[in-house]
Amino acid sequence: MSCKELFAKISLHPVDDLEVPGRSVARLTDPKALRAYAHPVRMTLIGLLRTRGPLTATQAARLTGESSGTCSFHLRQLAKYGLVEEAGGGAGRERPWRATTMYTSVEDDAGDPAAAAAGALVRSVLTDMYFERVSRWLDRRNEASAPWRDAAVFGDRFLHVTADELAALGAKIEGLIDTYAERDARPEARPADARLVSMLLFAFPEPEDAQEDTREPAP
């Protein structure tokens, strides 16, 4: 598959969609829905519908490099789980589809083996797609203007925090990002020089054996 774009707007933890302009969330908890969603073509289609608006299977095929028949099949599968719907007008592969929400929240139940396995599959597919996107950016980075090259964020940090502190930090970051959420639903609110930006967020604990403190005790 030639994934030219993927902006699926996915959260792997519960997302609050209250009082955030432009935010609407589809929460996936059912193992069948999670497994159905864990497909690169379907995630790409969802992202395109959320960033470009309604598309027909033929239009989606041009953007993804897939056939219109393949896109039509995957759009119908997404519709079974309420993630997309017909936008009205057209017929067959020329009828437009739209996303039903702007975000997806993957909320698998660790106590349910089927849901946990399905959630792990979603995470695995996403990880592969995320790093494919990073690689594409690095390949074309020199084609970007200097302001965009300088503005792009690339790096990592190590932190010593508790689980509660990490959750609070994530909530603060989400809050900052939410200040721009209204622009998803209202294109007229976007500055003239605004571009679509893909922002990936990762924060996870290192293995226990990597956290042993080997420093000499203070005198």
pLDDT at position 22, please?
56
Q: How confident is the model at residue 20 (pLDDT cuts 50, 70, 90)?
A: low
Q: Is residue 165 part of a domain?
A: yes
Task: Provide the 10 A C-beta neighbour count for residue 71.
Answer: 27
Q: Is residue 3 part of a domain?
A: no
Q: Is residue 218 part of a domain?
A: no
Q: How many domains does the chain have?
A: 1
d(CA 55, CA 101): 15
pLDDT at position 195, please?
92
Specify the pTM: 0.74
First to last CA, the chain: 60
DSSP state letters, 67-121: -HHHHHHHHHHHHHTTSEEE-SS--GGGS-EEES-SEEEE---TTSHHHHHHHHH
Q: Is residue 108 part of a domain?
A: yes
Q: Is residue 112 part of a domain?
A: yes
Q: How confident is the model at residue 79 (pLDDT cuts 50, 70, 90)?
A: very high
Contact at 8 Å (CB) between 45 and 71?
yes
Task: Provide the 10 A C-beta neighbour count for residue 59.
Answer: 18
Task: Render pLDDT for 186-219 as a digit per residue (tens, 0 to 9).
Answer: 889 999 999 989 888 888 898 877 655 555 655 5
Alpha helices in the chain (DSSP H): 31-37, 40-52, 57-64, 68-80, 113-140, 146-151, 163-178, 182-185
Q: How confident is the model at residue 23 (pLDDT cuts 50, 70, 90)?
A: low
Asked whether residue 107 carries a pLDDT value surpassing 80, the answer given is no
Q: How confident is the model at residue 13 (pLDDT cuts 50, 70, 90)?
A: very low
Its domain, for residue 189, covers 10-203
Q: Is residue 166 part of a domain?
A: yes
pLDDT (mean) for 137-146: 94
Q: How confident is the model at residue 65 (pLDDT cuts 50, 70, 90)?
A: very high
Whichever domain contains 60, its CATH number is 1.10.10.10
Q: Is residue 219 part of a domain?
A: no
